[in-house]
Each structure stands twice: as C-alpha cells, then as structure tokens.
C-alpha cells in the first residue's frame, strides 16, 4: 500500500510539471535553480520547502512530492 501511495504522489508531481493539472496544484511545486553548474544541478530537481512542524507538514503534497521526486533516478524524471 505504501508503494502505491508513493506511485500516485509521483504521478501527480509528473502531471504538475507537465502542466496537466490545475494551476493551483502546479504552483505548489518550484524547480530548484542552482547558480553554479555542477553534476548534481543538471537534473530536474524540485525545491523542498522548509517546514516548521515536521510531523504534519512533511506529509503535505508540496513537501513530500519534491522529496520523492528528487530521489528518483534521472532516467525516470
């Protein structure tokens, strides 16, 4: 069940990045822009916002989505 929930969350992130969802969902995700060109900055990584309350806020779409997305291999993004 846990793997299926991660799959659905990653699918939602993918549709947001490709503008297939309403704007209010796409606005929750921002690309992580690096000022310097490094090996790790070449991928399509998302910015993970900092949260004040770790237990509840880390489960939100705007935090959990980018965390899982950034863990994906570059070939799957």
Number of domains in the chain: 1
Instruction: Report yes or no on 67 lying in a domain.
Output: yes
Instruction: Answer for the pair 46, 66: CB distance below 8 angstroms, yes or no.
Output: yes
Tell me if 76 is assigned to some domain: no
Residue 54 domain-assigned? Answer: yes
Decide which of 1 and 53 is more confident: 1
Judge whether 77 lies within some domain. no
* Residue-range definition of the domain harbouring residue 46: 2-71
Least Cα distance to 13 among 67, 74, 73 occurs for 67
- The pTM assigned to this predicted structure is 0.80
Query: What tens digit of pLDDT does each residue of 20-55 get?
Result: 999 999 999 988 877 666 665 566 889 888 887 777
* Residue 41 falls inside a structural domain: yes
Query: How far apart are the C-alpha atoms of 47 and 32, rounded to whole Å?
Result: 4
């Amino acid at each position: 069940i846990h793997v299926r929930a991660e799959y659905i969350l990653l699918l939602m992130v993918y549709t947001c990045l490709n503008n297939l969802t309403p704007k209010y969902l796409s606005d929750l995700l921002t690309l992580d822009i690096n000022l310097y060109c490094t090996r790790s900055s070449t991928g399509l990584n998302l910015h993970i916002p900092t949260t004040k309350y770790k237990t509840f806020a880390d489960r939100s779409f705007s935090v959990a989505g980018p965390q899982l997305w950034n863990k994906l291999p570059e070939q799957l993004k």
